[in-house]
Amino acid sequence: MRTENFPTETAGVPGVVAPELIELSDGDEFELTIAPVTKEIGDASVRMLAYRGSIPGPTLKVPQGSEILVKAVNEGDLEATVHWHGLRLENQFDGTHQTQRPIPVGESFTYRLQFPDPGVYWYHPHIRQDYGQELGLYGNILVVPAEADYWPPAHREVFLTLDDILLENGKVAPFSHHETNYVAMGRFGTTLLVAGEPELALDARSGEVVRFYLTDTANTRVFKVGVNGAKMKLVGGDSGRVEREELVEDVILAPSERVVVDVLFDKPGSVTLEHRTPERVYALAEVTVAEEPAEPELANEFETLRVNQDLSAERARIAPYIEAAPDKTLAFVAEMNLGEPKAEAGTAVYGCPMHAEIVATWEDRCPSCGMKLVASPVGAPRPTAFACPMHPEITATWAGICPECGMTLRPTEADGGTAEHEGHERHAGAHAHDATGGIEWEDDMVETNRKTTPANMRWLIVDRETGAENHAIDWQFEVGDQVKIRLVNEMDSDHPMHHPFHIHGAGRFLILARDDVVEPNLVWKDTVLVRTGETVDILLDVTNPGIWMAHCHIAEHHESGMMFSFDVAPGDGPSGPRNIPKAS
């Protein structure tokens, strides 16, 4: 009998197996089974889902330019597709509900995959992505470059998926069959998983250069990864190498983004791979570096920072687009309606779920984060620190603006004037996000977030030219088009927060600028993190015909409808630059 929630019991479910690295050649065939497994996470034994029995699923290593067949067999909990994230492949094998009939439980579907671009990619569900991805359905693909010295020298390669999982009472927190929850901020986990493990231990040799392929597979968490005790060099991103290699302290990955870094373990001892947030540092992995030296010696090669001419040529090509007007403009907006408890007229109180000190007697926005204030339970105390001189019933805990007359609220005698300085120091929410870099690093409103569903929280992608929202957006392109898209993450939103915006295999894009600052280091991308209040310009190189999706890659936002599709028709070749200012 089907229950309200997906199953969590482990009785009779086989244990998880170790992930494999599977090398495939052009023309090979491979079977990928989706099925439940039991996995130990700390003291908990939990029911999860796995590709081929492992979490993460097997890493597929393939040559650039090759083609393989993957037969996906669904023995999981619900109908499925497998999306091949970042690959520019034939549209019918993209793995969404728009490109194929979902795979019923007990049946299979064979994907034909092509690999035109070197780099690290991944695969995951595209039906109830919030559930399947949280439960462990993700795995990497490494496309080995045809160019021998595409990457700088390294002794070996390590693949690390960065994830988290929400555990409650020794089980994965419940998922409803019928609707997604945690829609406001996404489902943050209580336990971090690196390469599927809550505590990861690695070994290295003194002087060894290890290439780490990092993939953020979390539903919503952004990771800021650094290495304590070793040197780190940025060498690649979503779809291949960066324009300029550079030594870095840390790198940021939003959900679905990939980053490639080389780490030089230059001396024996203990090294920690860390996730660094403004409030806390998490240990992701402990690396024990032995005294035994690595051979050959690569320290000089590591210190050499190469400039990659293919991307330097792209910088010259895209220069005219920097100042050009965008072809398309998308805005990211939230609409939230959590209802309001019945209260006598004039007694309602509203507060910010993320900042408990922010309370008002009218529906306003939080001055700290910009979020819409939500109704407090009946009987909640009314604020007294600030009041409107003309409308004394209008009160708040900060010097807000009276909704009746527009006056600034003044400190009250009840407060003794102690809040005056604090009130005048408060600014608009956009400024408050500076401390966190425009990123929600943690779930600061767990109970409110848990209650949000597509029924009371709408995440919108809005076409600013037509006003169309989400599925109503109707774009038409041709192969060869170069499309400048402006992404505006609105502060005028019921819940301003970051969004990782992903475009499926219609092509790939370059970031032109962030808030009018030209992108300093180019890399081909399929996902871009747009921080709270930020405007990002990208240039999409359209190469593949078909019906392609674009969406926020916070899984709960995607499941709530923050997506659209666009059509690409075959073309005769590059259509040439659009909207480029004429030379004077």
Count of beta carbons in the 10 Å neighbourhood of residue 477: 22
- Higher pLDDT pick, 344 / 311: 311
What was the pLDDT predicted at 414?
60
**CA–CA distance, 488 with 458 (Å, rounded to integer):** 17
Average pLDDT over residues 398-427: 65
Q: Tell me, yes or no, if the two domains 21-147 and 315-334+454-569 fold the same way.
A: yes
* Mean pLDDT along residues 195-209: 97
Query: What pLDDT is stored for residue 580 in this prediction?
Result: 44
Q: Is the pLDDT of residue 112 over 90?
A: yes
430 falls in which pLDDT band (50, 70, 90)? very low
In the predicted structure, residue 526 carries a pLDDT above the cut 90: yes
Give residue 494's pLDDT.
86
**Residue 239 and residue 142 in contact, taking contact as beta carbons nearer than 8 Å:** no
Q: Is the pLDDT of residue 50 over 80?
A: yes
User: Is residue 581's pLDDT more than 90?
Assistant: no
Structure-token pair, residue 84: 């091949």
Q: Does residue 423 carry a pLDDT above 80?
A: no
- Split at pLDDT 50, 70, 90, the class of 492 is confident
Q: What residue segments make up the domains of the chain, in order of their start?
A: 21-147, 315-334+454-569, 340-451
- What is the pLDDT, as a whole number, of residue 575? 45
Average pLDDT over residues 489-512: 94
Higher pLDDT among residues 538 and 354, named by residue: 538
In this prediction, residues 465-482 reach a mean pLDDT of: 97
* Predicted pLDDT of residue 571: 80
CB atoms within 10 A of CB 80: 25
Percent of the chain topping pLDDT 70: 92
Q: Is the pLDDT of residue 582 over 60?
A: no
Beta strands in 316-469 (DSSP E): 328-336, 350-351, 359-360, 374-375, 386-387, 395-396, 410-411, 457-463
- Please compute the mean of the pLDDT values over residues 214-240 and round it to a whole number: 98
- pLDDT score of 389: 80
Mean pLDDT, the chain, integer: 91
- pLDDT class for 401, splitting at 50, 70, 90? confident
Residue 356: the pLDDT is 85
Cα–Cα dist 386/529, whole Å: 38
Question: Higher-confidence residue: 339 or 548?
Answer: 548
- pLDDT band at residue 73, thresholds of 50, 70 and 90? very high
At 321-368, the pLDDT tens digits run 999 999 999 999 999 887 666 555 567 888 888 888 889 888 888 888
Burial call 144-159: b when 16+ CB within 10 Å, e when fewer? bbeeeebbbebbebbb
pTM: 0.88
Tally of CA atoms within 13 A in the half-sphere of 475 that contains its CB: 31
Is the confidence at residue 375, as pLDDT, over 90? no
Residues in the chain: 584
**What is the rounded distance in angstroms from the CA atom of residue 396 to the CA atom of residue 418?**
14
pLDDT of 181 reads 95
Which whole number is the average pLDDT over 378-402? 86
User: Which CATH entry fits the domain spanning 315-334+454-569: 3.20.20.150, 3.40.50.920, 3.40.50.450, 2.60.40.420?
Assistant: 2.60.40.420
CATH T-level topology, domain 21-147: Immunoglobulin-like (2.60.40)
Residue (of 285, 293, 62) closest to 155 by Cα position: 293
Query: Is the Cβ–Cβ distance between 487 and 523 less than 8 Å?
Result: no
Q: In what order do the strands lie in the sheet with 563-569?
A: 475-478, 563-569, 546-552, 499-503, 527-530
Average pLDDT over residues 19-24: 98
